[in-house]
Structure 1
């Protein structure tokens, strides 16, 4: 298969897939860092925010809000709206 025969939409799809994998990695590192970083201490040494242990609050509640903002920004500014239908001679 010649490089010119590859559909132009695959380049965009690969870029967006890498963005998605990067966001998932960021989310995992955020969650793991706070959950196991702050959650290692004995239970009697925990600090609490809004009735939740700090490790849970930062890893799950704040992490969700941060990822919601990052994913929304990625979709708004980095992702492209592309057609899925194929037309003969369609080469963007």
Structure 2
């Protein structure tokens, strides 16, 4: 596997764990975190017209990952399960 993919996996799991912990400790609400992710998504959307669909999916993946990880509750973060859920949601959109 490409080392960059493994680095992205580790980074996403770390960010997801931080978001879950911020929510659990009531530092940020799920709504606050969602608003921050909305802001990230709107920043990414500014470039979408310049890119191919695969590239736009790549840009949106980390944001979708964090959203899905927050939906999973306070259990262990499972990268494969989260990415599978994102894939199912993508299939539903198509």
TM-score if structure 1 supplies the norm length? 0.33
Name whichever structure is richer in strand by fraction. Answer: 1
Quick check: which has more Rg, 1 or 2? Answer: 1
| Higher share of residues assigned helix | 2
TM-score (norm 2): 0.32
